[in-house]
Amino acid sequence: MSRRRHPLLICLLALSLLSAAPATTQPAAPYLFTYFLGNGEDGLHLAASDDGYTWRPLKDGKSFLKPSVGESKLMRDPCIARGPDGTFHMVWTTAWQGKTIGYASSKDLITWSQQRAVPVMGHEPGVINCWAPEIVYDDAARDFVIFWASSVPGKFTETIGTLEKQYNHRMYYTRTADFQTFAPTKLFYDPGFAVIDATFLRDAYGKLHLIIKDETLKPTAKKHLRIAPAESLAGPFGQLAPAFTKSWVEGPTGLRVGDDYVVYFDCYRDHRYGAMRSRDLKTWEDVSDRLAFPKGARHGTIIQVPPEVIARLKDH
């Protein structure tokens, strides 16, 4: 004799199972990729994707914004975050050597505010550089966190000589709510070795993970990516996992594509983009062969945007 379950009981059981599981599937794309070409002389380039693997350059691959500020007036490593009011805020590297990062904002990624060079390391007279700034919005603090890599002579003497020339990078940061006043610059991350190109990835449970490049060159070249849990956008940060990429890659940017986490990176010696995919941020699979990126794309970041944003950019 078979037993029949009451339909209401079945529905309640299904709902309880759904509520207990993490939200593993994101809404459909589109995704937007910000990048630069060459040495960053002609400024901001944009590409779009519906699946996270095939990327189409927008505006026939032409620049959306030419650089006009900073020590060398470059626009390398462009990073964009969207604020709660819908405004896009962008920061970038203005020079190989200097004390500033670039900043501009836009409502539609087409018309931009006046560019500004923000002297985030102006208090350090001997600072060598400000590389690859990233910007993220902090929902809890209702402000933006901006972080970047700098080398300050005389600091972190235990790792002097472990990379090229006089460099000895650590990550620094500031905060701002209005982009008029900025909190005093502080040390953001020191893992005990030279580090650059930090970026955040949020998992299916809402937890943050910090991805960084180990910039160590001597005595053995590392130049690979590692990941650590983060309790907040300002830390503290947990133990770094072993490298999950090969050596000689940089500029990571990560996001969730369906049920996967995909971390993209610039294989700068090979002049192409690569990517690693994971379901648990522990076991990784190389999916570089699936990628199609704009030719010559360099160190960019990827965000998810509403479809109408991509539609406007395509019309433009």
Q: Is the pLDDT of residue 26 over 70?
A: no
What structural domains does the chain harbor? 23-315 (2.115.10.20)
Q: Is the pLDDT of residue 16 over 60?
A: no
pTM for the model = 0.91
Among 4-13, 39-48, 267-276, whose mean pLDDT is lowest? 4-13
Q: In the sheet where 101-106 sits, what is the strand order? A: 76-82, 88-93, 101-106, 116-118
Q: Is the pLDDT of residue 13 over 90?
A: no
- Alpha helices (H) along the chain: 7-20, 307-315
Q: Is the pLDDT of residue 313 over 60?
A: yes
Predicted local distance difference test score (pLDDT) of residue 68: 98
HSE at residue 49, side-chain half, CA atoms within 13 A, is 19
Give the pLDDT mean for 45-66. Answer: 97
Please state, in angstroms and rounded to a whole number, the distance separating the CA atoms of residues 266 and 6: 56
Q: Is the pLDDT of residue 22 over 60?
A: no
pLDDT digits (tens, 9 = 90+) for 135-170: 999 999 999 999 999 999 999 999 999 999 999 999
Q: Is the pLDDT of residue 42 over 70?
A: yes
- pLDDT level of residue 27 (50, 70, 90 thresholds): low
Give the pLDDT mean for 219-242. Answer: 97
Q: Is the pLDDT of residue 2 over 70?
A: no
Whole-number Cα distances in Å, 88 to 105, 137, 199, 205, 242: 5, 11, 18, 26, 34
Rg (CA), the chain: 21
Predicted local distance difference test score (pLDDT) of residue 144: 98
Predicted local distance difference test score (pLDDT) of residue 6: 53
Please state, in angstroms and rounded to a whole number, the distance separating the CA atoms of residues 309 and 32: 9
- pLDDT level of residue 110 (50, 70, 90 thresholds): very high
Predicted local distance difference test score (pLDDT) of residue 14: 46
Predicted local distance difference test score (pLDDT) of residue 291: 98
Please state, in angstroms and rounded to a whole number, the distance separating the CA atoms of residues 251 and 73: 20
**What's the mean pLDDT when you consider all of the chain?**
92
pLDDT digits (tens, 9 = 90+) for 255-305: 999 999 999 999 999 999 999 999 999 999 999 999 999 999 999 999 999
Give the pLDDT mean for 15-44. Answer: 73
Q: Is the pLDDT of residue 201 over 50?
A: yes
Token couple for 246: 């090969």
Q: Is the pLDDT of residue 215 over 80?
A: yes
- pLDDT level of residue 186 (50, 70, 90 thresholds): very high
